[in-house]
Amino acid sequence: MGFFLEVLIGGLLVGVLYSLVALGFVLIFKASGVFNFAQGAMVLLAALCLVRLIEWLPKWLPALQNPALVVFLAAVLSCALMVLVAMAIERFVLRPLVNQEGIILFMATLGVTYFIEGAGQSVFGSNVYTLNVGIPKDPVFLFEGLFEGGVLVNEFDIWAAVAAGLMVVVLALFFQYTRTGRALRAVADDHQAAQSVGIPLNRIWVIVWTVAGLVALVAGAVWGSKLSVQFSISLLALKALPVLILGGFTSVPGAIIGGLIIGAGEKLSEVFIGPFVGGGIEIWFAYGLALVFLLFRPQGLFGEKIIERV
Amino acid sequence: MNAPAKRIGDVLLKVENISLSFGAVKAINDVSFEINEHEILAIIGPNGAGKSSMLNCINGFYHPQEGTVTYKGIKRHDVDPHDAAARGIARTFQNIALFKGMTTLDNIMTGRNLKMTRGLFWQALWAGPAVAEEMAHRRKVEDIIDFLEIQSVRKVPVGRLPYGLQKRVELGRALAAEPTLLLLDEPMAGMNLEEKQDMCRFILDVNDEFGTTICLIEHDMGVVMDISDRVVVLDYGRKIADGTPDAVRKDQTVIDAYLGVQH
């Protein structure tokens, strides 16, 4: 039982990270109906910026040696970069393409992906960097009273989960109950109608890409701390896809639950089914599950139901 | 009732010599007319006459190549639709343009978007002033829902509603903005008789109770003749008549445009 829990919790914690990446996709999809392929690249960019600034800031400003302050300042500057990126994307990519088909905008985000990856690496370098944001990574034992030996988890993962959980709650409430949240959903449904009730598209897009950028920063910081910052982070986008299909492209809670299910499912299947069918289930489990969902429930667990009137 | 006897006032919006073309196709050709305060103006004409294009010019979706639109005494230059909305022009669409995944309530709440002023900061905190504001506007929206008699579908995603009700919700969303000028693009298209009567009643009530100026496009001549104060007739992008329903009904050019001329 202790071992099962350990695998489950390990899986759920990885799932939280998937959720974080998927969240960025959901935000932009909800608000503009665009599947933003560049989300993975944004995670990479944010993480690169953060890790390099933490390294550079003490060199540029010799007076600045307090590590916590350096991390804080680097995070603030990275936020600023993500805001700039959001504004640039709105100005140069989205605005010229208003009212175009979703697929055209998707193609545009493909271009944005390569641009961000290239530009990010030429500015911040393309090596593997170790990111340390000052959160302890010590293993801790939980439930020692309940099981012999307790359950082993990494303290860092718990912090990451708490941060992700908090962010999700705030975003979900924001989308559901505020004027801007409603405006975001309105824009996603119908550009023209949204404009006709006085919602300025450009501002909404900047807001939503900024929020997606900040989510990317959190995701980048967490992934970077776990696996160090490197190019492969941008491939996270592919891992977020099955999460989206599971949770539904338009649901913030869906992104979270989907991430958790896939994180836990892939670890559990690897450990408990793997030995019988040969290992490696972890790699394709998510995609297999996504396929089943596509066949039987294409809108995902929490997505808005697809209603066709004939 | 403080409604002055036949309430029509000064010119609210003036369209002067507007021409709009898409490539080689002239959608509107040198059209001028006025919309007076508090009146119900109908724009009629055969299909493809440029009626919807005209509404789109008024609310800023299209920018005519020639001519001017003067609104509340100010000449406008290429306004954006959300600017037009901010200045009190609300509209509905020919093919319903609701936010399909959202509930009736949320759809109408988007109409209040411009009336709500609390910044992103307070909204994000979901604190103090933003909450109070949300509640106040929610009450207004409930009034509109009562007015349009759609209480029973408040929480239903509008994508699931029948066509007639969707049209009503769309009207509700436009009303939520408390517009000065309300543009209705075929508000009764595809409705049965009873639904049409309801819609007529709502339009007349809006005009009567709130003094809203209404400019509508409609194909049902019975409805047009009944509810409008004035009728503008377009044909092939040109204005061929402008006057009271009775005058327009007897106008020979209009009869020719609708029935065809015998050669």
Q: Which amino acid is at A27?
A: L
Q: How far is CA B20 from the centre of its chain?
A: 20
Residues of B in contact with A304 (CB under 8 A): 101, 157
pLDDT, mean of residues A255-278: 87
> How many CA atoms lie within 13 Å of A217's alpha carbon, on the beta-carbon side?
25
- Break chain B into its structural domains and give their ranges: 1-88+179-263, 99-174
B62: contact with A, CB 8 A cutoff: no
> How many CA atoms lie within 13 Å of B91's alpha carbon, on the beta-carbon side?
32
DSSP helix/strand/coil, A141: strand
Average pLDDT, chain B: 86
pLDDT category at B2 given cuts 50, 70, 90 is: very low
pLDDT at position A75: 93
**SS3 annotation, chain B:** CCCCCCCCCCEEEEEEEEEEEECCEEEEEEEEEEEECCCEEEEECCCCCCHHHHHHHHHCCCCCCEEEEEECCEEECCCCHHHHHHCCEEECCCCCCCCCCCEHHHHHHHCCHHHCCCCHHHHHHCCHHHHHHHHHHHHHHHHHHHHCCCHHHCCCEHHHCCHHHHHHHHHHHHHHCCCCEEEEECCCCCCCHHHHHHHHHHHHHHHHHHCCEEEEECCCHHHHHHHCCEEEEEECCEEEEEECHHHHHHCHHHHHHHHCCCC
Closest chain A residue to the Cα of B160, Cα to Cα: A307
**Percent share of chain A, pLDDT over 70:** 95
Residues of A in contact with B177 (CB under 8 A): 197-198
CATH for B1-88+179-263 is: 3.40.50.300
Q: What stretch of H or E contains A294?
A: helix A281-296
Q: Which of residues 148-177 of B touch A (CB under 8 A)?
A: 157, 159-160, 173-174, 176-177
The model's pLDDT over A198-244, given as tens digits with 9 standing for 90+, comes to 888 888 888 889 989 998 999 899 888 888 888 888 887 778 889 98
- Top-confidence residue, A164 or B45: B45
The model's pLDDT over B20-31, given as tens digits with 9 standing for 90+, comes to 998 888 899 999
A198: contact with B, CB 8 A cutoff: yes
- The whole-model pTM stands at 0.77
The model's pLDDT over B228-254, given as tens digits with 9 standing for 90+, comes to 999 999 998 899 989 999 898 888 888
pLDDT at position B1: 42
- Least trusted range by pLDDT, from A109-123, B117-131, B138-152: B117-131
* CB atoms inside a 10 Å sphere around CB A65: 10
Among the partner residues A192, A207, A307, nearest to B159 by beta-carbon distance: A307
- Break chain A into its structural domains and give their ranges: 24-233
Q: What stretch of H or E contains A151?
A: strand A151-154
pLDDT at position A306: 60
Residues of B in contact with A195 (CB under 8 A): 61, 80-82, 85
Q: CA A207, CA A100: separation in Å to the nearest integer? A: 20
pLDDT category at B35 given cuts 50, 70, 90 is: very high
Distances (CA, A) of A39 to A20, A122, A165, A170, A175: 11, 19, 19, 20, 20
The model's pLDDT over A273-284, given as tens digits with 9 standing for 90+, comes to 888 887 788 888
pLDDT category at A177 given cuts 50, 70, 90 is: confident
Q: CA A47, CA A78: separation in Å to the nearest integer? A: 8
pLDDT, mean of residues B201-206: 93
Distances (CA, A) of A164 to A43, A68, B80, B124: 15, 21, 38, 17
Backbone angles phi, psi at A33, to 5 degrees: 65, 15
pLDDT at A308 over 70: no
The model's pLDDT over B124-147, given as tens digits with 9 standing for 90+, comes to 666 667 777 888 888 989 999 999
Closest chain B residue to the Cα of A198, Cα to Cα: B82
Q: CA B193, CA A176: separation in Å to the nearest integer? A: 37
pLDDT, mean of residues A37-45: 92
pLDDT category at A191 given cuts 50, 70, 90 is: confident
Min Cα distance A191 → chain B (Å) is 9
Cβ distance A307 to B100 less than 8 Å, yes or no, reads yes
